[in-house]
Amino acid sequence: MSTEQADLAAIEDVEEAMRDVVDPELGINVVDLGLVYDIRVEEDNTATIDMTLTSAACPLTDVIEDQTRAALTGGPGGGLVSDFRINWVWMPPWGPEKITEDGREQLRALGFTV
């Protein structure tokens, strides 16, 4: 493995960092809500995230992008990745079946029936 490859962020680490990105309406992270469909890390250590929202009309994409920037590129040492890109995707559409068990527990704790 070359030094360059060793410096690439692991997909698991990017996914874990994305747990710091919280849906502003529901207060649950985007991973456990099932909004993150795919994560790739390119050779230049740029993360590409295929992601959806609970509604195509959601006005909060800027908030989620700002939280993603802080989670992935902020912090001491410059962050986990050098840059990121979010591909907003609408197919397949999001549905409650995509919520992880951890997400379901968090929603129940907030009083939602799932």
Condensed to tens digits (0 to 9), the pLDDT of residues 1-14 reads: 344 455 899 999 99
One-letter identity of residue 59? P
Residues 112/37, Cβ–Cβ less than 8 Å? no
Q: For 17-62, how does the pLDDT look when each residue is reduced to its tens digit (9 = 90+)?
A: 999 999 988 899 999 999 999 999 999 999 999 999 988 888 889 9
Residues 113/42, Cβ–Cβ less than 8 Å? no
Q: What is the pTM of this model?
A: 0.89
Return mean pLDDT, the chain. Answer: 90
Helix (H, G, I), strand (E, B) or coil at 67: helix
Helix (H, G, I), strand (E, B) or coil at 18: helix
pLDDT at 86: 97
For the segment 70-76, the average pLDDT, to the nearest whole number, is 89
